[in-house]
Chains A and B, each alone.
Chain A
Amino acid sequence: MYQDNQTATPMLQQLTFTLAGEEYGVDILSVREIRSWSRVTRIPQTPDYVLGVLNLRGAVVPIMDLRLRFGLKRESYGDDTVMIVVAIGKRLFGIVVDAVSDVIDIDPAAIKPVPDMGAVVDIRYLKGLATHVERMVMLLDVEKLMRPEDVETLEAALPAIQEVEVAA
């Protein structure tokens, strides 16, 4: 709104955050708020990366740990831990990240496809790669991160269910 000196090409504004030393970006238009970590209520019968649900002004919103989602080791949660609440359509969900860094402008033309590199990160959740001041930013595809009908969610849920069954 305040940027009336904006250039002709519409820039994509990305909120960047760090996770295990890497820099990621989410489309700022999908970000609803950034809040510090608070205790969540665990939901049974769900994959472990869904930490639980949180009361967000009366809405019961699921919170996902992005480290666990990407198969990384879980960090302890403290005052520095940050949750980014994003919206897909009318659905809200929160992602737990290490730290929020910046809001940057990305030229859509400069976004590169993600090479299949068998990296630490599952590339299914990335829209592309961008460079900002000589740093690489991985652009997150939030829609793919939490789809209830996602087959993969089901697969991830299976071990948890089996655990229950073994326990019983």
Chain B
Amino acid sequence: MSAVDLTQFHKTFFDESLEGLDAMEAALLQLDAGSSDGELVHTIFRAAHSIKGGAATFGFVDVAAFTHVAESLLEEVRSERKAVDAELIELLLRSVDCLRAMLDRSSAGQPVGDAESEVLRVELVRLVSGEQGEGTTAVGPQAAAVNGWEIVFTALPHLLRTGNDPIRIFRELQALGQLDVVRVFIVDGAPEHLSEIDPTSCYMGWALRLHGNVPRADVDAVFDWLDGDCELVIKPVAEAPAAAAAVVAASAGASATPLQRRSADARATQPGSESAPSASEGGSIRVGIDKVDALINMMGELVITQSMLSDIGEKFELSQLGRLREGLLHLERTTRELQESVMRIRMMPIGSVFNRFPRLVHDLERKLDKRVSLELHGEGTELDKTVLEKIGDPLVHLVRNAIDHGLESPAQRKAAGKSETGTLKLNAYHEGGNIVVQISDDGAGLNRAAIVAKAQQRGLIGDGQELSDAEVAELIFQPGFSTAAQATDLSGRGVGMDVVRRNVRDLGGSVGVRSVTGMGSTFTITLPLTLAIIDGLVTAVGEERYIVPLTSIVESLRLRADRVRKIAGGGEVFHFRDEYLPIIRLHQAFACAGAITEIERGIVVVIEQDARRVGLFVDDLLGQQQAVVKSLEAHYQRVQGISGATIVSDGSVALIVDVGGVVQLALRSKAA
């Protein structure tokens, strides 16, 4: 079995364990909320158990040892020998955090154990053992009579090939209590001659005796991963009721599924791991089998269409024109479906981001002494993985803000005639080609007076300036703006909403706020479905084509020459809706040959970037097109003023204009 390089499965183990921890955390929080569902405890137990098994298999001894203690405590809870209380949940939540940190350190190859994990471990042990003393009376005399287990463990020949190692089993049993080997035997049907022995097969069995008051479940747990790989007889040493003897049959039980799933996952991730063998490198996506199947179906269609078309091409006659058209139509449809399916692979439900909020809210409630009920809606709404990864931090910030600044303390709420528990709602839904994420609270709303006072103090607005509600709301997105009287470690340091807005802008989205005093505020984030495809306007400049992202375009217009004013320094401006906008000539910025230079013969596209507007002068508009964005950096390097490239219908490359970059480029050349 040493021939199998286990490190290739490490990434899968970490991914799976982190998922398991998420599941544990979610279930713990549900328990905390007063739910007494027995299934929740099982969920937590199963997750802990899988992590322990995996960690032991892959040699993360510290993780396995820590999880083992947590699991023992969970076992006490599961068998109803220990009641669920706030202390227990808090301890287990801290254990989840601790395990997460341990896994992080393991995946980074750092030493795993630390003082915190040790302290937690001791606390867990105390809770487990403290309860066991009392537990004996509750469980009854039968369990009390147990002072050890007789275990007859007969390996099936393929045991070693499943990645299991009897030594590991013995080690785990030893951790439970004193272990004696009563007898070692060779199984029936083992080869008689040395030359017939297959070194990858196991022909041995062991009769063992485990001393001490060890819960039966702990013993079972050790053998859990061997389900189907061995024959097992476990009897209490006291020889009490013979009925207690159990034979774990070789049939695949429920616990065998994690192993099977693990190997399936490992197979699925293997193509990726070829290029990125180390666990820390590169991201991976878990893709549902149904999505992959859909792709394979589509591929099949494509292959059939291709062979049909080449068949027509081989011996083409004019009479076959109809079939050719039909084939091309089919090709077009299949290609479009294939494109959609491939895009769908990158799409992931926003629930994976929402999932972290119950815990965050739980912690904040304690820290700030507020009561919050969190409602999540639309967790199934899917968006691009890249967008998803980058939207987490802004959302966390908004949720923190909502609880810290938005929701009042229970006393204040009571005084205002509201329920003591505040409500925080997270909602995600599709709207047009966009994803909308809303964070709304029923708190006090934006404090208009405080915001205005702060803005005056910062010199953002003049004294006595009248502002509309929308303008006041806009102020909180200014850099360095915070109205919190004192900075907490949660929010109020002034690095806030401006960063949120910038992050969202980087994703091509926007963020706004609506607020009603006394009723609460709603932050609305609008995001594009994907960064991989943009809607663009194709413009012509000389012989060249440039694509301007549609989202940044305000309007395009043809200017009469007399509407353009020259200002000192050679810049050009024109009058547009009560303001003067600078004109940037794209042919100058990009040094294009053969472009139109007379203003009235070309088109000015008004674009907006970071709340400033400019007019971009191009020769002509050629139409709207969806562009699959490709990076120039993949094979070349970053080019200022260009955000990427795309392939247009004639197969050539067209460049996508980076509006912000072009503005900078023009400013720099003006400054020179």
Contact = CB atoms under 8 A, between A and B. Distances in A.
B589 A164 contact: yes
A93 B635 contact: yes
A163 B647 contact: no
Interface string A32-54: 00000001111111100010111
B451 interface: no
Contact of A168 (B645, B655, B669): B669
B324 interface: no
Interface residues of B, number: 32
Interface stretch (A59-67, A74-82, A98-106): A59-67
Interface string B653-664: 111000000000
A62 B635 contact: yes
B210 to A, nearest CB: 55
B641 A44 contact: yes
A53 B653 CA distance: 7
Contacts of B668: 165
A58 B646 CA distance: 9
B589 A61 contact: no
Nearest to B672: A165
Interface of A is mostly: mixed
Interface range for A = 20 to 34
Contacts, number: 89
Contact of B544 (A42, A148, A160): A42
B278 interface: no
A43 B639 contact: yes
Contacts of A91: 634-636
B652 A61 contact: no
A92 interface: yes
Interface string B187-200: 00000000000000
A46 B669 contact: no
Given A53-B653, A55-B651, A164 B591 contact: yes
A55 B591 contact: no
A1 interface: no
Contacts of A42: 544
B651 A167 contact: no
A124 to B, nearest CB: 19
Nearest to A38: B652
Contacts of A160: 591
A60 B641 contact: no
Contact of A60 (B591, B634, B651): B634
A60 B544 contact: no
B595 to A, nearest CB: 12
A90 B672 CA distance: 38
A52 B653 CA distance: 9
A43 B641 CA distance: 10
B588 interface: yes
Contacts of B654: 41
Interface in A138-153: 148
A45 B588 CA distance: 11
Contact of A58 (B592, B647, B655, B670): B647
Contact of B636 (A44, A53, A58, A90): A53
Contacts of A60: 630-632, 634-636, 645, 647, 653
Contacts of A163: 591
B642 interface: yes
Nearest to A91: B635
Contacts of A53: 632, 636, 645, 653, 655
Nearest to B545: A41
B507 interface: no
B645 A44 contact: no
B596 interface: no
B590 interface: yes
Given A39-B652, A58-B647, A60-B645, A44 B590 contact: yes
Nearest to A53: B653
Q: Give the interface centre of B590, B632, B637 by most chain A CB atoms within 10 Å.
A: B637
B51 interface: no
Contacts of B631: 60
Interface string A8-49: 000000000000000000000000000000011111111000
A58 B647 CA distance: 7
Contacts of A40: 653
B636 to A, nearest CB: 4
Contacts of B592: 44
A168 B669 CA distance: 6
A168 B589 contact: yes
Contacts of A93: 635-636
Given A41-B544, A44-B591, A59-B635, A164 B669 contact: yes
Interface of B: 544-545, 570, 588-592, 630-632, 634-637, 639-642, 645, 647, 651-655, 665-666, 668-670, 672
28 contacts: A41-B544, A41-B545, A41-B652, A41-B653, A41-B654, A43-B632, A43-B639, A44-B591, A45-B590, A45-B642, A52-B653, A53-B655, A55-B652, A59-B635, A60-B634, A60-B635, A60-B647, A61-B636, A62-B635, A62-B636, A93-B635, A160-B591, A164-B589, A164-B591, A165-B668, A167-B588, A167-B591, A168-B669
9 shortest interchain CB distances as A-B pairs: A44-B590, A148-B637, A168-B669, A41-B653, A62-B636, A165-B672, A60-B645, A165-B669, A60-B630
